[in-house]
Amino acid sequence: MLLENKLALVTGASRGIGRAIAYELAKEGADVIINYRSSQKEAEEIAKEIKQMNRKAYLLKFDVSNKEEVKNAIKEIEENIGNIQILINNAGITKDTLFIRMKEEDWDLVLKTNLYSIFYVTQAVLPMMLNQRYGRIINISSIVAFTGNPGQVNYASAKAGIIGFTKALALEVAGRNITVNAVAPGFIETDMTKNLPEKIKETFLSQIPMKRIGLPEEVAALVTFLASDKASYITGAVFHINGGLYRG
């Protein structure tokens, strides 16, 4: 297995892409810390599935946008579980509206949850990786970081910030055998996209060369590869997974 004897932390792992990533990492041999903020039932379900594969699953509730909660959670991991080798910064939210109507609190909340969280979590985890001279950090960005999207100025700004974060940090830690990469999914089938009106879905599909929506499992497969030693010479890169909608 690609990830045997590795410990992974996946933020926002109870649903959608995060859930699929947690499952795929475990399938390849990793023990997984499942972070969630409010979806406890869903987090317990994925933990049960992971344990059925004879892998360890740890539930850890904390708000990634709260610096103190993050620090306390990572301290708990270090003291009671072990050193993290793989970090997947996946947690994110949307608060969509046209920019002219956007409230400051909706700007702040999206930036804190989608971008500041990566600063908080990565800075707390990085000392472990530096000390063990090994680490895999994968940040989940989005196609809208490159294309923009009406009504998502806050979300696009946060996801674009992740790209700069990834490229700069990769240069700082490459000498310690730590890789930092980003994955930018396109239109993926999650709870968020399931609830879109059919007309909007049809518009998206008409623009995708492959004429279908992507699956969370397809994103998870890419992330798992980047988390493995097969990707040990890849760092500071951005991987697009969108059916040809954006080719960068």
Q: Which residues are catalytic?
A: 155
Name residue 39's amino acid.
S
202: tokens are 């049809």
Please state whether 32 falls in left (phi above 0), alpha (psi between -120 and 50) or beta: beta
Residue 190 phi, psi (nearest 5): -135, 180
**How far is residue 211 from each of residues 48, 222, 244, measured CA to CA in Å?**
34, 20, 9
Reading the block at residue 234, the tokens are 């890849």
Q: How far is CA 226 from the centre of its chain?
A: 12
- Cβ atoms < 10 Å from Cβ of 29: 16
Q: How far apart are CA 125 and CA 135, in angstroms?
A: 10
CB atoms within 10 A of CB 199: 7
The set of residues, in sequence order, having a beta carbon less than 8 Å from that of 195 and lying 6+ positions away, is none
Tell me which DSSP letter residue 184 carries: E
CA–CA distances in Å: residue 189 to residues 16, 18, 117, 192: 8, 12, 24, 8
Which amino acid is residue 30, in one-letter code? A
